[in-house]
Amino acid sequence: MDWQTPEDSFPTDFITDAQLRALMGRPPISGGWRDGDPVGERQFTAIGDLTTEFGGEIPNVRIAYETFGELNERRDNAILVFHALTGDSHLVGAAGAGHPTDGWWSEIVGPGRPLDTDRYCIVAPNVLGGCQGSTGPASLSPEGREWGGSFPYLTIRDQVAATARFADALGIDSFHAVIGGSMGGMHALEWGLTQRDRVDRLAVIAAPPVTTADQIGLNLVQLEAIRSDPSYRDGNYYDAPDGIGPHHGLATARRLALLNYRSNTELDERFGRAWQSAVSPLGGGGRFAVESYLDFHGNKFTRRFDAGSYVTLVQAMNSHDVGRGRGGVRAALSTLDLPTLVLGIPSDRLFTLEGQDEIARHTPGSLDGERATRIESPFGHDAFLIEFERVGAQLARLLAE
């Protein structure tokens, strides 16, 4: 579900107290990209007004995106890549002005790589509701101030509808492939179901057919961590007079999420019961290495993401159910007759392999029949962001279909 090299990797397994203290100063009210910030490699496209599934109205929607490689004259070599919950359009490139992190799929996208930019034009939008340039809670509403808590409730289907309008604006009628991992896999599935005539092949990586009660429950704890922060102010914190955003709540949500991105065995092997501090636990003041790990990345996250977007995107993930209004999961997936890579990770405890197997079982175009393709890895959900060679080999297999 997460990104950046991957995002939860330490400079070392055991971060120093000095490194942790470096992140303890006050973060900005929002860590998301705001108008007036350096643009970096982003481009922007306006897609007009959008009415959401549940009657929300969002005027003048803007989608931020990046492209890698050139669109050919026939305009038939484009590949659409959807990002995960806290990802963005920056697939390739160094961190710098406008981009708080390195590209999150640099080993997958590029000349001679599985998503070969000498052959394909890779299109990576920041989804509607995101905080890296696309319209979201931190964007200005028609009232001239940030949307904040009044930003409409979004579903995965709303976001896919916005992306389809975005493709229209770019003049791309059909994609050679649509690819997504984690939350992006939800978008890829919905694209295949709602835009079947606009895609030749599909990759659904580490994503479920529906968000289960267990997953919604885990998401609720993250949402409540943010909403119970007094500085959240019902989502209307962008002009807070004290200049303080819901940093504590957002960092806590991040800590909770990180525990599901890696397997329990990997965390145990990596940290065990090692103490980070030289202070004796019997004397007080000590801390476990895994606590330092979670604190570091919780605090780091508040400097590159927006709490309002986090709430909006998690709620959209909760809406995910490919069978809603389509006669159930089996009936919906039975229409996916295009070549489809369904990739799962046995050690994933966030979106478990059972979900990927269910997608493969009911998808006629599944590359490996009724069983999802496996990536064996100790890294849990994050494996699709770490196991570049294995994931890349499977994407190359899909593109050869």
Active-site residue flag, 320: no
Checking if the pLDDT of 268 tops 50, the result is yes
Poorest-confidence range of 14-18, 32-36, 84-88, 209-213? 14-18
Identified catalytic residue from 30, 139, 182, 366: 182
Exposure string (b/e) for 146-158, b if CB count within 10 Å is 16 or more? bbbeebbebbbbb
Q: Are 375 and 345 in contact (CB under 8 A)?
A: yes
pLDDT digits (tens, 9 = 90+) for 184-238: 999 999 999 999 999 999 999 999 999 999 999 999 999 999 999 999 999 999 9
Checking if the pLDDT of 22 tops 80, the result is no
The one-character DSSP state at 140 is B
Identified catalytic residue from 348, 357, 377, 382: 348
CATH number of 17-399: 3.40.50.1820
Active-site residue flag, 277: no
Checking if the pLDDT of 177 tops 50, the result is yes
Over residues 118-137, mean pLDDT:
98
Residue type, 390: R
Mean pLDDT of the chain: 92
Q: Are 312 and 261 in contact (CB under 8 A)?
A: no
- Going by pLDDT thresholds of 50, 70 and 90, the confidence category of residue 239 is very high
Percent of the chain at pLDDT exceeding 70 = 91
Stated pTM of the model? 0.93
pLDDT score, position 50? 98
Residue type, 34: R
- Going by pLDDT thresholds of 50, 70 and 90, the confidence category of residue 266 is confident
Query: Which tops the pLDDT comparison, 179 or 291?
Result: 179
Over residues 94-111, mean pLDDT:
95
Active-site residue flag, 381: yes
Over residues 82-101, mean pLDDT:
95
Environment class of 94 (CB within 10 Å of its CB; exposed 0-12, middle 13-18, buried 19+):
exposed
- Going by pLDDT thresholds of 50, 70 and 90, the confidence category of residue 274 is confident
- Going by pLDDT thresholds of 50, 70 and 90, the confidence category of residue 400 is very high
pLDDT score, position 23? 53
3-state helix, strand, coil in the chain (%, to 5): 35, 15, 50
Token pair 């999150």: residue: 104
For 111, phi and psi rounded to 5 degrees?
-60, 125
Checking if the pLDDT of 391 tops 60, the result is yes
Poorest-confidence range of 148-157, 164-173, 281-290, 338-347? 281-290
CA dist., res. 281 & res. 246, Å (int): 31
Checking if the pLDDT of 280 tops 60, the result is no
pLDDT score, position 285? 59
Checking if the pLDDT of 81 tops 70, the result is yes
Over residues 357-364, mean pLDDT:
98
pLDDT score, position 269? 84
Residue 202, beta-bridge partner list: 178, 340
Exposure string (b/e) for 300-338, b if CB count within 10 Å is 16 or more? bbbebbbbbbbbbbbbbbbbbbbbeeeeebeebbeebeb
Percent of the chain at pLDDT exceeding 90 = 84
Checking if the pLDDT of 284 tops 70, the result is no
Q: Are 201 and 340 in contact (CB under 8 A)?
A: yes
Identified catalytic residue from 134, 309, 381, 382: 381
Checking if the pLDDT of 139 tops 90, the result is yes
pLDDT score, position 291? 87
CA dist., res. 194 & res. 211, Å (int): 18
